[in-house]
Structure 1
Amino acid sequence: MSPYKMSRIEESIRITLRFVDLVNKKDLLTLSELLSNNCVFEDLWEDSPISANKTEVVQYLSNQFMKFPKGKMVIVEANNLVHKCIAKYNYFGISNDDDDHLKCLGVFEVKSGMISSVSLYTKK
């Protein structure tokens, strides 16, 4: 397989890992550059409404950063499905107990080098 084809196949996992890194750094400005203008974002943990554009997604993430200032995503496993990345991760910082965390699964869809869809599922 050519290096170009390989880089295209790995694109979704690289961008997902970058997204997680920026979420952990609480870097909304750089994070917004990874999102397409019509990015769809749903977080099923809080039954939040689906955010259907970049502005709504950035606002939702900003609210989450204020709500959970110590929140941190730790990837346990990530699998690449060409244009999608399935990431199993733990979310820490939801309480004062450092070991307390949520087990989560994220489905990230990448098109043209930008995140076009994010669906987050949480085991309560």
Structure 2
Amino acid sequence: MAGYSIRKMNWVRNPSAYESMVSWREKRKNFQEKYEANLANVVSALQTAWVDAGYNIGQIAANRAIKRIQEEAKAKQEKLQAQLAAENTRPYQPTYSKITESGSVELAGGTKVDLNSNTLTMSNGTVIDLTTGLKKVDVTV
């Protein structure tokens, strides 16, 4: 048996050139569709990552701006509170008042106001008590 060889039985025929070309086109078409689907997925993932990064950068910038505005408002508020506290410790100085710090003034018509003794002395000499609104009468016996 050493000299005998087993012959092949070609029961499956080789495809024709046309069949080979059609088969190649189908394989190429399937590969191209798979490639385009994978490419679309990658592009979608990259776009999502880009949008997310842009959104997150916007959020960070907005948060920093809000924090900066809050700090500026707080500083301004503290400055105004300090200014108000300083104004509250000063005695009130009326702008248009003719009364001096001594508490008395003489008006143009000759009337005198004395806040220390709570009296109003008219130009004719009549004295009125400012707390009661009545004329003061000096009675000596």
TM-score, with length taken from structure 1: 0.27
More helix by share: 2
Structure with max Cα Rg: 2
TM-score, with length taken from structure 2: 0.25
